[in-house]
Structure 1
Amino acid sequence: MNVALWIIQIIVAALFLTSGSLKLVLPKDNLIKVFEWIEDFTEPKLRLIGAFEVLGGLGLFLPGVYSTLEILIPIAAIGLTIIMVLASFLHYRRDEKSNLIVNIVILLLLLLIAGGRLFFVR
């Protein structure tokens, strides 16, 4: 179970690190071409979302790599779960079904990470 959780953590962390760094670095005009929902947010809010995604992505694997404060892994997963719940509401409101399905899958993977690290594998 530990190996499976690590594989899921690395994949989800890579996803959030990539997505978050794009929101931190690229201008809003460039992001709108890739993500239509970006138009609903101001640039400072996008930077904040990107920062939370990058921090959460780092929190999914760095504590485990360095074997310190491993409780941060499920905390990061729970924080990213909150982001995904909010993203799911956004995509539901915008009637973006494909994005909604992706968000729900990522949300379930984050819940698996949080539950697995809190209750089964330490």
Structure 2
Amino acid sequence: MNIAYWIVAGLLAIFYAYAGTLKVIRSRDQLRPMMAWVDHIPLPAVRALGTVEILGATGLILPPLTGIALFVAPTAAIGFVLLQIGAITVHLMGGDRRIALNAGLTVTAAATVWLATRL
């Protein structure tokens, strides 16, 4: 289970670290081509969301790596499940039916929760 956790959590952490960094450093115009929803959300909220994603990615990796505060890893993964439920809601309310990535991330985060409880 340990190897499975590192593969799934590692991929999830890479994705969220990348996406979060983009949200923190790029302008609204630079984000718009890949994230059409940024026009409906205040920019400080987008920046805060990016920061939460970076912190969550860190929470998936550092606690199991150091052996300190292991409860943080499943908590971060649960946070990503909730984040994606919110993202799916925002997409659907905005009339955007392209939620396959969000659904995949939800399933991956849920699998990470399960694997993290077995560390």
Task: Give the TM-score band, short-chain normalised.
Answer: over 0.9
In the TM superposition, structure 1's runs of 4+ consecutive aligned residues that sit over 6 Å from their partners are: none
Identity %: 25
2:105 corresponds to 1:90: no
**Could you tell me the TM-score, scaled by structure 1's length?**
0.91
- Is 1:16–2:16 an aligned residue pair? yes
Gaps of 5+ in 1: none
Residue equivalent to 1:52: 52
Distance in 1 of aligned mates of 2:76 and 2:34: 26
Deviation at 1:82, TM superposition (A): 1.0
Q: Distance in 1 between matches of 2:80 and 2:89?
A: 14
Q: How far apart are the structure 1 equivalents of 2:116 and 2:56?
A: 15
Residue 33 of structure 1 aligns with which residue?
33
Higher relative contact order (CA 8 A, sep 6+): 2
Specify the alignment match of 2:107 in structure 1: 108
> What is residue 2 of structure 2 aligned with on the other side?
2
TM (norm. structure 2) is 0.93
Conserved 8 A contact 2:4-2:115: no
Which shows bigger deviation, 88-97 or 59-68?
88-97
1:33 counterpart SS class: coil
Q: Which secondary structure state, in structure 1, belongs to the residue aligned with residue 88 of structure 2?
A: helix
Bigger CA drift: 107-116 or 5-14? 107-116
Residue 62 of structure 2: aligned partner = 62
RMSD of aligned residue pairs (Cα, Å): 1.1
Task: Report how far residue 108 of structure 1 moved.
Answer: 0.9
State how many pairs are aligned. Answer: 119
Greater helix fraction, Structure 1 or Structure 2: 1
Distance in structure 1 (CA, Å) of the matches to 2:95 and 2:115: 32
Q: Which amino acid in structure 1 is aligned with residue 71 of structure 2?
A: I
